[in-house]
Amino acid sequence: MSALQPPQLTAIILTLNEARHVQPCIKSLGWADRVVVFDAYSQDETVPLASAAGAEIYRSPFENYAQQRNAALAAIQTDWVFFVDADERGTAELAAEIRRVTGSRGETGWYVPRHNVIFGRLTRGAGWYPDYQLRLFKHGHVRYERPVHEIAVVNGAVGHLENPLIHYNYQDVAHFQTKQRAYTAYDASMLKAEGVRPKPHTFILQPLRHFYWRFIALGGYKDGPHGLRLSLYMAYYEWVKYRKLAALWRQP
């Protein structure tokens, strides 16, 4: 890369059966130098739709999220990587900011805020904003760890962008419940691995603390009834998490 040539930026979209989202996501990233769809052998029309939209296609079996992101990083060569999920959308404002910081700033990685659209509504409280995700970084300076809720480990300074990704998070209550059941099972297994045992009062106090944290401390009340519902849901799934943890300890 010469002094006058801007760094190459590649947007990578991880997919598994994302036919509903993949083309709008690719279209929202048309400002990137390359758009790569890194697919885990989808069974729907994800790959042909992505190819028709102009994306480069790579495929790799899915083991866990950290493995898949690391495999994507190993498969391509570029100056900068911008990871985007299929249910996220870039904006013109975010594109301009990314071009500016990758061309003129010295940070190695950047956190990107997200606007979460939950049940069709933009959600600004209860922990869903700014919802920073470490997604933009110089290639070769990051690796991912932990199979679920993966963590990006960056070699170098990290900054925070101002303009958000748009995240079409939970489509409806059924989608929300499916995701939370998976998250609580994983979180319970992690707590057991750490030797945490729930006590009788845990099943009352932890959900109450979680509701207060979501609704009051994180401003869920600002979203009105929508924020109240989400805070109650998350308090309930806190209870579910510890119920699953207790069940794990009862296993021989």
- Compute the distance between CA of residue 165 and CA of residue 50 in angstroms, rounded to an integer: 20
Q: What is the pLDDT of residues 50-90, one digit of tens each?
A: 999 999 999 999 999 999 999 999 999 999 999 999 999 99
How many whole angstroms from its chain centre is CA 79? Answer: 22
| The two structure tokens encoding residue 50 | 């992505």
- By the 8 A CB rule, do 19 and 49 touch? yes
* C-alpha torsion sign, points 133, 112, 143, 10: positive
153-177 pLDDT, tens digit per residue, is 999 999 999 999 999 999 999 999 9
Q: Using the predicted structure, report yes or no on whether residue 183 has a pLDDT greater than 60.
A: yes
To the question of pTM greater than 0.85 for the whole model, the response is yes
**Is residue 192 predicted with pLDDT exceeding 80?**
yes
**Residue 129 backbone phi and psi in degrees, to 5:** -155, 135
User: Tens of pLDDT along 116-140?
Assistant: 999 999 999 999 999 999 999 999 9
> Sheet containing 165-168: which strands, arranged edge to edge?
88-89, 165-168, 114-118, 121-122
Q: What is the C-alpha separation between 251 and 245, in angstroms, rounded? A: 10
CATH match for 9-168 among 3.90.550.10, 3.40.720.10, 3.40.30.10, 3.30.465.10: 3.90.550.10
The pLDDT value given to residue 1: 52
pLDDT for residue 3 is more than 70: no
Cα 74 → chain centroid:
20
CATH 3.90.550.10 spans which residues of the chain? 9-168
Are 62 and 40 within 8 A, CB to CB?
Answer: yes
